[in-house]
């Protein structure tokens, strides 16, 4: 049996003349009624968990979703789970689940880029493909997956790369794990060994992301430092920042709060390449933590999980850098 857990998102939306735009309108049963062939793929159980647009998902809601998924995985009759989700935050929810909920049963996230009012509504096709993946023997052992536009991605490396086209999701530099082709699920590459999960009682936070730009200074870093327990800097290139941000970073270190350096660039790792003021090597030598290949939103989730586990700054450094 495959559990379909509906959380909202564009897949559940249709145009509302009063608001002038798309809003959540369809329940899980409504969506399946518009795509009855999906029920022929596997035995289905529907859970209507929420009607949240992607930007309305919070880390608290993501953590509550994790609890529901854990309960469903514990049921012996459940073979896999499909989660429909707003695409704006889908990658963050999927990554959080992948990093904190170990499973051999597939959890497959999917959604839609177009609403049910659009002629090009991609919801039924994406949902059907996700059910096929969740029901396939081949998907076992891959952990948390994302299926969009007949392509299967790992939740550990997928990101949304386009605002509107139906093939909006990619794993930059890696490509999809596999495809759904004429009803068949075909995996084309294996995953490296999955990192150990982080399983706190609750997420630690708040953790902010500060974006860099040419001429950026420390104002946002100082504002964040008042309440945040940690910060991720979306740096330039290999993790470098403008010189005017250095003093702000030093104030974070003085407060003994973790500063994680990621990159605003989609492909590649941050690294200790540049030693000029604001270069990642010099910042690392002063106490900043390098995020490796994690995108800023992924680094934020790992930092919240680490803080929730009670890790020290040295432990967090080991988590990110080793």
User: What is the per-residue pLDDT across 39-74, written as a single tens digit (0 to 9) for each?
Assistant: 999 999 999 999 999 999 999 999 999 999 999 999
Percentage of the chain modeled with pLDDT above 90: 96
Question: For residue 283, is pLDDT > 90?
Answer: yes
With CA atoms as reference, report the closest residue to 130 among 192, 80, 172. Answer: 80
With vertex at residue 57, the alpha carbon angle to CA 212 and CA 239, rounded to the nearest 5 degrees, is 20
**DSSP E strands, the chain:** 2-6, 13-16, 21-24, 44-48, 80-84, 107-110, 144-148, 151-154, 159-160, 169-170, 178-181, 184-187, 207-211, 230-235, 259-263, 289-290
Boundaries of every domain in the chain: 2-187, 207-321
pLDDT tens, position by position, 105-151: 999 999 999 999 999 999 999 999 999 999 999 999 999 999 999 99
Q: Show which residues are catalytic.
A: 10
> 176 with 191: CB under 8 angstroms?
no
C-alpha–C-alpha distance, residues 317 and 34, integer Å: 49
- How many residues make up the chain in this entry? 322
C-alpha–C-alpha distance, residues 222 and 217, integer Å: 10
- Which class for 102: exposed (0-12), middle (13-18), buried (19 or more C-beta within 10 A)? middle
The reply to whether domains 2-187 and 207-321 share a CATH topology is: yes
The predicted structure's pLDDT at residue 153 = 98
Indicate if the alpha-carbon torsion angle 151, 164, 46, 15 is positive or negative.
Answer: negative
What average pLDDT does this structure show over 182-199?
Answer: 91
- CATH, domain 2-187, list 1.10.150.120, 2.60.120.1030, 3.40.50.1170, 3.40.640.10: 3.40.50.1170
For 207-321, CATH gives 3.40.50.40
| Sheet with 178-181, side-by-side order of all strands | 44-48, 2-6, 80-84, 107-110, 144-148, 151-154, 178-181, 184-187
Tokens of 231: 């910060």
Query: At 322, is the pLDDT very low, low, confident or very high (cuts 50, 70, 90)?
Result: confident
């Amino acid at each position: 049996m495959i559990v379909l857990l509906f959380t909202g998102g564009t897949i559940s939306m249709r145009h509302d003349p009063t608001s002038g735009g798309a809003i959540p309108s369809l329940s899980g049963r409504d969506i399946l009624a518009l795509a009855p062939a999906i029920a022929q793929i596997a035995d289905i159980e529907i859970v209507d968990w929420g009607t949240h647009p992607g930007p309305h998902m919070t880390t608290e809601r993501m953590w509550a979703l994790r609890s529901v998924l854990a309960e469903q995985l514990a049921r012996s009759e459940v073979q896999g789970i499909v989660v429909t989700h707003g695409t704006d935050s889908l990658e963050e929810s999927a990554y959080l689940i992948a990093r904190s909920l170990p499973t051999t049963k597939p959890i497959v996230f999917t959604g839609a880029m177009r609403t049910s009012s659009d002629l090009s509504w991609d919801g039924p096709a994406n949902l059907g493909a996700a059910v096929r993946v969740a029901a396939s023997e081949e998907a076992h052992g891959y952990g948390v997956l994302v299926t969009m536009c007949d392509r299967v991605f790992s939740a550990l490396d997928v990101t949304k790369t386009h605002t509107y086209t139906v093939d909006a999701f990619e794993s930059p530099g890696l490509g999809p794990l596999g495809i759904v082709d004429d009803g068949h699920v075909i995996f084309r590459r294996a995953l490296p060994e999955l990192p150990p999960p982080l399983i706190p009682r609750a997420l630690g936070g708040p953790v902010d992301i500060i974006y860099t730009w040419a001429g950026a200074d420390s104002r946002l870093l100082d504002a964040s430092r008042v309440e945040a327990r940690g910060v991720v800097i979306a740096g330039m290139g290999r993790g470098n920042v403008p010189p005017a941000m250095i003093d702000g970073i030093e104030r974070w270190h003085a407060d003994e709060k973790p500063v994680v350096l990621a990159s605003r660039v989609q492909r590649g790792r941050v690294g200790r390449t540049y030693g000029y003021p604001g270069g990642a090597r010099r910042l690392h030598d002063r106490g900043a933590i390098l995020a490796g290949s994690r995108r800023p939103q992924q680094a934020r989730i790992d930092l919240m999980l680490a803080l929730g586990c009670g890790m020290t700054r040295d432990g967090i450094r080991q988590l990110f850098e080793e």
